Structure 1
Amino acid sequence: MFPQVAECYKSSTADAARNQLGSRQPHHLLRNLPPSSGNKYTPEEIRYTLEASVVQQGLIRRTHKATRDVSFHPVSTIRQPLHSLKISKTVNLSTIASELLCPPLTYEVEVELQNGPFLLLGHPIALGVKIMHMNGEKNAISLQDFQTMLRETTEIRARGSIQGFTRSWVVQTMTNLRQPLVAANRPTVGSVLELDDRLWSRHCVPVHLAPTFETCNLIRRYKLEIRLGIEFGRNYTRILEFEFPAYVLLPSFTRFTQSCVGSLEPILDRWERHVPKKE
């Protein structure tokens, strides 16, 4: 599964300057061992076994051997500072009457991952939701539906072909919330309304997921999908979906530290090239 061949080498964009000077060192995808993953019934199984031998000296020399399956999950930390990741969508509300008398009401809905693409197993998603009232009359705004879901994709390269497997993991789903978005003062044109983060702070990323990793023949990656059902005034409900690249980590005991165990440059380079644009 992990051959030491030329195709295993990949350079990151961080090496571009060194490459121009001819001193670039290849980044090998097997520099860090992948985590335990799957089981004997899944094609992407990665299993580790610990073998031990004890030699007993004496009149009769004996050797005792034992093996045991072990679960291996490398601990990761994230270097500071963290940069948030945001996606904004514009919502226009119009009726026949409003089209004749005034322009449609405009709102901007912004979803922010406060720790960028990094999600920690067993921890809540650091999320922020804001709605900006851009023009027109002021309507009460409430959240009706909320869902966060991780889409897991595993790619396996074997015998010259690539197979992909996708599974979905719902972190949280809620309906019929009727939770209002409010500000400290009465909303005015251009005001910002925020959603209380206590709505999702008690729901954590499932601990049974395997962290994101990439080896020569096996890749595990995630996407985070966020679904909001928002009611703008009466009879104006819109369903908005947001999709972020996600890098799932097993946290260390010191949650976010200055050091970084293993290089995250290949992953950072990849998600930075795919940062969603404002719609």
Structure 2
Amino acid sequence: MSIRIALDHQPEFYTNLDHVKGRVILGLNRAEQVGSIVVKLEGESVTALQVPNPYEAEMPGRLAGPLPGPPGSVVGENHKILYKVQQVFPDEYHSSTSSPYGAFPLQPGEHEFPFKFKLAINNACSDPMAMSRIGGLGGVGGFASGGGLFGMGGVRVMDGSKQLFLKHVTRTLPPSLTGYPMEAEIRYYIKVTVQRPGFLKENWRYQIGFKFLPIEPPRPAVTGQEAFARRPFTFRPRSPMQPERKRSSFFPRKAEAGGGGGDKSAAGDAAPSLDSPNVVPAPSMEMSARLPHPPVFTCNQPVPLRLIAKKVVNCPEQVHLVSFQMDLIGITEVRSHNIFNKKINRWVVVANAELNIPLTSSPQDPVGKELVVPDELWKNKPLPNTVAPSFAACNLSRRYELEIKLGLSWGKPMTGLPSKDPLAQAQTIFLPLHFTQVEVYSGITPPPELVEASRITWPGRATVNIPPRLPPRTSISGASAPARPPQPQNQAPPMPPHPPQDPLYPPQLAPGLAPGQSAPPYDEAPPSYDEAMAENLSGPFDGLRPRPAYSGVTNENAPSQMPPGKS
């Protein structure tokens, strides 16, 4: 026996509104009785944190509320952010035949069962109606073609009631994410279960993973405004070197008593005052880093940065940019029940310590003149493909900050041995510029229909246009209407009398109506706006544009690195 899943035209990663198509290939060496074959499309956001000791400040993790367990124990939280089930066997041909055991024979050989899913836009764990309907065993929310041998037919699916006790948010599906073993991960799977009825026969299971990268939200309109990080700086004033004095001996001579009370050489070597004409004036400038407002970066693309130097004081001395480093800081906030932890990642986007870029065009520049630093340093340096877009899931979120470190030198940067000339020795300072809130988008443009619809109804959840059911009218006004007798709790209200019908011409039923019903039942909640849009929209890729590179998961088929009791 062998099971494998073959995906049709598998891309490097999937995204929202993509069709996940493939085949379940089942190879049998002998005839087998199979009750059903179920394919599941799943996505999990799993976190696990250690319960801190409230009396130990060194223990990692921040507690907000009562202890979810004894100190030192590990508590996990598993959110089913994506869950879709499709039964591929028995098909219509096998279902039309009656089987007393709830199973159907499959002959030796290779059998293929196609499946097809469409990835949703938002996570599924935040929908209580969808989660409450999931679960059961063969006919009670599960999948089964019959009672099975000794009533044990059916395939066990997820118990959605566990999700109802967790805190949820309605957001776009997060990207695949690993790198925090035993603490947090986001994975997407395709699982297949072959149900074999009988006490001594176990079900066959197989799964494969795939990478997922979400579409980006609608980008804000371009307004021309800029967010900036600005910092002025001034070098330390310096003076020319005084002529050296020769000492007669290794030890300085003591001042004679009553001979002036001090060492004349020490008084002569004192540093001159800042008002002295021999003091060289120190340059003062202002560096500012500017980003489009709101600051939005794109995966696998350079940072849209502008670096501007502004002259503050009238000084003919030149200032050079000798080093430049740009770091993207990722802050991942992990939550498990009421325990919080923060993980910091740092990506060095650009680093160059061998620069010599003047920050003024000429010594005669007036005060207040600005110079834009050439962007050759970073315009060809895209973000690493391990940078995931910003996201917020129920128990996991990622945000970013940008840090720029500038090395500024007064004078010519030293390239060889240090010189004895003080004017040739450069004075260097390092200036940090920090952006505390930046967004990273995936670069996958959503369909135009989705963008237009989000402007109208986003972020509320609307339902399909079903007219409300009006209450029955009465001939008596509400003020003088008599009180209705109380109805028993376990007794259904009486149905209104139907007009007499001719037995030769029975009334026609509308599609989906049961005998005796005059209106369609609206007991189940209608699909949300996002679900309705996801079924009608096409994917963001039309086959002409290449997909950006993303390797947030090193190996999507690697075993999970979370604790065994993660759910």
TM-score normalised to structure 2 length: 0.37
Find the counterpart in structure 2 of residue 206 from structure 1: 384
Query: How far did 1:188 drift?
Result: 2.2
Query: How far did 1:213 drift?
Result: 0.9
Find the counterpart in structure 2 of residue 158 from structure 1: 336
Give the alignment partner of residue 100 of structure 1, picking from 254, 268, 275.
275
Q: Is the 8 A contact 2:283 2:319 kept in 1?
A: no
In the alignment, structure 1 residue 91 sits paired with structure 2 residue 233: yes
Report the secondary structure of 1:46's partner residue. Answer: strand
In the alignment, structure 1 residue 74 sits paired with structure 2 residue 252: no
Query: How far did 1:160 drift?
Result: 2.0
Q: Is the 8 A contact 1:227 1:239 kept in 2?
A: yes
Find the counterpart in structure 1 of residue 53 from structure 2: none
Report the secondary structure of 1:90's partner residue. Answer: strand
Report the secondary structure of 2:274's partner residue. Answer: helix
CA distance in 2, matches of 1:137, 1:67: 69
More strand by share: 1
| Identity across the alignment (%) | 25
Query: How far did 1:184 drift?
Result: 8.8
Q: Which amino acid aligns with 1:203?
A: K
Give the alignment partner of residue 48 of structure 1, picking from 156, 172, 188.
188
Find the counterpart in structure 2 of residue 222 from structure 1: 400
Give the alignment partner of residue 441 of structure 2, picking from 233, 249, 266.
249
Q: Deviations over 1:79-109 (max 9, x none)?
A: 2125421011111234265831598543111
Which one has the largest radius of gyration? Answer: 2
Distance 1:96-1:237 versus aligned 2 partners, 3 A rule? closer
Find the counterpart in structure 2 of residue 240 from structure 1: 431
Identify the range of structure 1 (221-230 vs 71-80) with the bigger mean alpha-carbon deviation.
Answer: 71-80
Q: Which amino acid aligns with 1:142?
A: H
Distance 1:181-1:107 versus aligned 2 partners, 3 A rule? closer
Q: Which amino acid aligns with 1:127?
A: L
Stretches of structure 1 lacking an aligned partner (at least 5 in a row): 7-27, 55-63, 266-279
Distance 1:40-1:151 versus aligned 2 partners, 3 A rule? closer
Give the alignment partner of residue 146 of structure 1, picking from 324, 328, 332.
324
Pairwise CA RMSD: 3.5
- Alignment length, in residue pairs? 232
Q: Deviations over 1:32-68 (max 9, x none)?
A: 11111115835221001134799xxxxxxxxx98643
Q: Deviations over 1:151-199 (max 9, x none)?
A: 1121111132112211211111110211223549952222112210011
Distance 1:151-1:216 versus aligned 2 partners, 3 A rule? same
CA distance in 1, matches of 2:286, 2:383: 28
Stretches of structure 2 lacking an aligned partner (at least 5 in a row): 1-77, 80-124, 129-167, 195-203, 240-272, 413-425, 460-567
CA distance in 1, matches of 2:185, 2:452: 27
In the alignment, structure 1 residue 130 sits paired with structure 2 residue 300: no
TM-score normalised to structure 1 length: 0.71
